[in-house]
Amino acid sequence: MFEMKETCNLFLRNMNGEYLFQLRDNHVSDGGKWSLFGGGIEPGETPEEGVKREVKEEINFDLKDAKLILEYTNSLGSHAYLFFSIIDKDINELTLKEGKDFGFFSIEDSKNIGCSEIVKKYLPIVEEYFQSTFKN
């Protein structure tokens, strides 16, 4: 019997209020849509270790810390972990290693670029978390 892998996804936000999204390859889930970095958690990994590995593999960024925002059941029926972190790098300091493209987008822009359901559903929750946690 096929067992679904646990997955992890990450909202990365810069201090300009923009989120880093990945334009997904056509042959994967959410293909052709702007979505989050992340993927399957390997056996023996914690969810945080998994999200750090995925971000390193996908954009060559060493994620120092990630805050678990929530757990949910994804569209494939597997258990998923949603993380948040601040990124202090410019796009030209990152290297896209998976996906068609990537870029920083404002919340307003994200409404018009063809985002995945996970982004549409959870971006308001993540931004509310940011605003309540990082108020000046």
- What is the set of domains in the chain, with CATH numbers? 7-133 (3.90.79.10)
Question: What residues are paired with 8 via a beta bridge?
Answer: 39, 81
pLDDT in tens, 31-76: 789 999 999 999 999 999 999 999 999 999 999 999 999 999 987 7
Q: How far is CA 136 from CA 34, 130, 131, 133, in A?
A: 30, 11, 9, 9
pLDDT at residue 1 is higher than 50: no
What is the reported pTM?
A: 0.91
- CB-hemisphere CA count at 13 Å for 29? 13
